[in-house]
Amino acid sequence: MGIKDVVEVYTMQISVQYSSELIMAIALAITTLLLIRYTWNRVKQLPEEERHMGRPLWIASVSVPLLGLASFLNYGYALGYTELETGYYLAAALGGGLLSFTATSILGGRRAQALPFAVLGGMIPLAAMPQIVGAAFGPLSGALVAVLAGILFGIPFVLFSYLTYKTRRVTSFGLAVLSITYPLLLVTTSFTSPEIVAVALAIRVFGPALLITALVLPGMAIRAELVAYSITVSSSFYFMSYLLVSPLVLDMAAMATVSFIAIASILSIGTSAYVLTRWRSSRNPATLTLGLYFVVGGLSYLVVALNHTEFMSGLNAQYFATALALIASMMLNLSSIVALDWKRILLLPILITIAPFWLMLSGWIAQVPPDAVAFRSLSMIISGLLHSIIPITLYGLIWWRMRKVDASGRSRALFLALGGLLHIFGAAGGNTLSIIAAIFIMGAYGVWWLGVTGRADSLLGTAA
């Protein structure tokens, strides 16, 4: 990679870091509206003499939009409005301080409530004079900001984590995660590696996504399905952060193609949350492996979408997506075999994955493009065919058996088979840059979603 390429990558990384600030501001605006609604409903249920207990939630309803305002001001600063810098630091400091005050108010204790104000008292003068701080500390100013951010957001993280431990409420958990993920912008501005920035941004947008999920589903327990639903929401924010500054915005066909793949990814991760929720009550291994398929498959297509936006470019991203796709295919095969209880061929999906996985690993070490490895190898072709045909055939067989006895819920198996068929047309050849292929892939995950969630049974009259 030459100097020009390095400069282009670095410039794109800076662009996506700040576009993520706009998305963060939008996400926190949505969070604020949901938090106000949640607070209003909670307070309304309390007797008149106890309504003062809802005060901490109202304070949180002020702190979250302040963080959103900070992100919006930082985005404006990135566009060249340098006069917004002071406002950004002040809004972030006040937002973090009020989050701490929210937690200490819930925990009680006058002395504890004084802690956030003591921290804010020291930070607000520094936040109001960023240029002076930069001039005084020079190269160390970045380290100073990181330390101050760690203190400011570390306090509410610890307090809300303790509240989560005591109450098991998902809202406290959401506020704890938001507190620790919000300052991760400092990580993205400290590195130029696309992989590190991509991971940091993914974790950062997960904060508001988790809080949004917790506010929409306040009765949900802190379990895997909560995380899966949150990943579904954060995937949308994550993809939009990249798409806003991608060269694809000038090419409508390419943008539509990538958007279809991203929608498929979001549908897949959302479906996984539903399946994992069902698995918690049934403990059926076929349901578990199917849920894992949708998690891994969704993540693989998210990486593919980001790869096509040219921000996760390079062989590492391509091999990562390919490895995820292989694991996902193995899981889908396992789910169909386990559903039929065919224990004798249970190892077949694993065995037919070993050779292509080894080839992918060898190609990655040699830094050969994945497509070159895939189409030179007969084992890759055979493995791909088997991974496609087995689940379609077995789920089709399950549907046929259920249909013969007029069993309810049989459309799930039928739509799993039909989705697999559509997926073959989309994924065959590996050319996901084609808009036709992307439509087939999105259609496959749409059909799977209809089948797995039981909506297909309702439409076809085969529900229980």
Tens digits of per-residue pLDDT, 293-321? 999 999 888 888 877 766 566 677 778 88
Of residues 368 and 146, which shows the higher confidence score?
Answer: 368
Is the torsion defined by CA of 450, 451, 452, 453 positive or negative? positive
- 119 pLDDT band, cuts 50/70/90, is low
Round to whole Å and give the CA distance between 134 and 129.
9
Of residues 5 and 374, which shows the higher confidence score?
Answer: 374
The pLDDT value given to residue 190: 62
Q: What percent of the chain has pLDDT over 70?
A: 79
Q: What is the mean pLDDT of residues 190-197?
A: 65
- 2 pLDDT band, cuts 50/70/90, is very low
Q: What is the mean pLDDT of residues 366-387?
A: 73
The pLDDT value given to residue 183: 84
- pLDDT tens profile 222-279: 877 788 888 888 888 888 887 777 666 566 777 788 888 888 988 898 898 889 888 8
CA atoms within 13 A on the CB side of 28: 29
| 221 φψ region: left (φ > 0), alpha (ψ -120 to 50), beta (else) | beta
- CATH fold group of domain 246-464: Rhopdopsin 7-helix transmembrane proteins (1.20.1070)
Instruction: From 402, 20, 415, 431, select the one nearest 257 (Cα to Cα).
Output: 431
- At 28, which amino acid appears? L
Helix ranges (H only) for 283-347 are 285-308, 315-340
Question: What's the distance, CA 205 to chain centroid?
Answer: 7
Q: Which two tokens stand for residue 222?
A: 């802190």
Q: Residue 37 pLDDT > 70, yes or no?
A: yes
Which of 233-257 are b and which e, b meaning 16 or more Cβ less than 10 Å from the residue's Cβ? bbbbbbbbbbbbbbebeeeeebbeb
Count of all residues that appear for the chain in the document: 464
Is the torsion defined by CA of 60, 64, 66, 67 positive or negative? positive
Neighbours of 10 (CB within 10 A): 12
The pLDDT value given to residue 1: 44
Q: What is the mean pLDDT of residues 400-412?
A: 90
Is the torsion defined by CA of 273, 277, 278, 279 positive or negative? positive
- pLDDT tens profile 125-167: 665 565 555 544 444 445 566 677 777 788 888 888 988 888 8
Which of 161-175, 304-318, 376-390 holds the top average pLDDT? Answer: 161-175
Q: Domain locations in the chain?
A: 1-219, 246-464
The pLDDT value given to residue 297: 92
Mean pLDDT of the chain: 80
The pLDDT value given to residue 3: 43
Q: What is the mean pLDDT of residues 405-432?
A: 86
Q: What percent of the chain has pLDDT over 90?
A: 22
pTM of the model: 0.74
The pLDDT value given to residue 199: 79
Is the torsion defined by CA of 49, 54, 56, 62 positive or negative? negative
The pLDDT value given to residue 429: 60
- 32 pLDDT band, cuts 50/70/90, is very high
Contact call for residues 360 and 370 (beta carbons, < 8 A): yes
The pLDDT value given to residue 285: 92
Neighbours of 227 (CB within 10 A): 18
Of residues 209 and 16, which shows the higher confidence score?
Answer: 209
The pLDDT value given to residue 394: 95
Round to whole Å and give the CA distance between 5 and 297.
31
The pLDDT value given to residue 442: 92
Instruction: From 235, 384, 350, 233, select the one nearest 300 (Cα to Cα).
Output: 235
